Amino acid sequence: MKLLVTGGAGYIGSHTVLELIQGGHEVIVADNLVNSSRESLKRIQKITGKTVELREINVCDSAAMAQIFSEHHIDAVIHFAGLKAVGESTEKPLEYYHNNIVSTLSLLAAMEEAGVAKLIFSSSATVYGDPAELPLTENSQTGVGITNPYGQTKYMIEQILQDVARADDSWQITILRYFNPVGAHPSGLIGEDPGGIPNNLMPFVAQVAVGKRSKLTIHGADYDTPDGTCIRDYIHVIDLAQGHLAALEHIQAGCEVYNLGTGKGTSVFEVIKAFEQACGHTIPYEVGPRRSGDAVVNYASAEKASQQLGWRAEKDIAAACADAWHWQSQNPNGYEEETK
């Protein structure tokens, strides 16, 4: 297939582009590099020997999007492009609503115009808000208790996609709700390269491990969990990337939703321990106050994806930490400032 991948230079996008190329697909990336580097695509070239065409555009720019579809016969689109920092979204709600929603509308219009029907969208477990039941299934309640504009954009886009598919049955849309993506490609050549202070646990731990930051702050260790820290479903980014290939193979008319998670919860202390094993030394940390808006426990039911897509996560937290450490220790400054 010839695929358009929006946000393909970013963390999950770059790993998926790599898997797609290795799976024999042709890929065009549309990315404005607002939170990524073209170096990720050069590294993919290094691994695969294949060049990835980068269109450095804002997906909100409908004319630029239409141009891509007029130049290429695109079979399907994977839409990763979006702003994703939860904390920042509460400070800059307009920027988040505009970027994430307008980019999706612009993409859908360009696809409709070009007659491209297949779309895979990156949603998030944040649409479940504060989980009312565990494990979270695709039928669990969504849209209630979402505490930040980022999560709202994902919920709103899901509604838009459901409406679009309801109105015209030629659309084939798959919504993938990611749990907590972690790890890196085992080559150590591509990985997560957060600008500024990392928002998520694993890249923060990795930066402490490599000496870029002095210590980790744990946001609360007095929760009602076995070790007092929050529990999440960490999914290796390679498993996640392969989930997109499975979704692409099984895409069908309408709008289907799948969780991409492992089905297993891991606590903050367990992540720290696994990372210490991977890097061979201790990770200094302190326990700080709880962070408002954090769900206590959150993990997926991964059954629907297993039954309908034939996909299951295969890598565990130890593999994710080993690969994250390999990436971080080989690239202590990520893709380097000058290439951003």
The residues binding ligand NAD (CB under 6 A) are: 7, 9-13, 31-36, 58-60, 80-84, 99, 103, 122, 124, 178, 180-181, 200
Cα separation, 297 vs 271, in Å, equals: 14
Cα separation, 242 vs 251, in Å, equals: 14
222 burial level (CB within 10 Å; 0-12, 13-18, 19+): exposed
Are 127 and 151 in contact by the 8 Å Cβ rule? The answer is: yes
Least distance CB 154 / ligand NAD (angstroms): 7
**Catalytic machinery residues:** 150
Q: Which residue is nearest to ligand NAD (CB)?
A: 10
- Tell me whether residue 86 or residue 278 sits nearer to ligand NAD (CB atom): 86
Least distance CB 280 / ligand NAD (angstroms): 26
- Tell me whether residue 228 or residue 304 sits nearer to ligand NAD (CB atom): 304
Please give the structure tokens belonging to residue 283.
Answer: 């990770």
Separation in Å, CA 316 to CA 198, 204, 234: 22, 19, 8
- Tell me whether residue 84 or residue 315 sits nearer to ligand NAD (CB atom): 84
Least distance CB 140 / ligand NAD (angstroms): 16
Least distance CB 95 / ligand NAD (angstroms): 10
Residue 265, SS3?
coil
93 preceded by cis ω (within 30°)?
no
Least distance CB 281 / ligand NAD (angstroms): 26
Separation in Å, CA 60 to CA 33, 82, 201: 13, 10, 30
| DSSP calls for 200-240 | SHHHHHHHHHTTSSS-EEEE-S-SSSTTSS-EE-EEEHHHH
Please give the structure tokens belonging to residue 123.
Answer: 């949603």
Are 253 and 169 in contact by the 8 Å Cβ rule? The answer is: yes
The partner residues of 5 in beta bridges, in order of sequence, read 29, 78
Least distance CB 194 / ligand NAD (angstroms): 8
Please give the structure tokens belonging to residue 124.
Answer: 């998030």
Q: Where are the alpha helices (DSSP H) in the chain?
A: 11-22, 39-48, 62-71, 86-91, 93-97, 103-114, 149-167, 201-209, 237-249, 268-279, 303-304, 317-330
- Number of H helices and number of E strands within the chain? 12, 13
Least distance CB 106 / ligand NAD (angstroms): 9
- Tell me whether residue 10 or residue 135 sits nearer to ligand NAD (CB atom): 10
Closest Cα partner for 231 from 286, 273, 271? 271
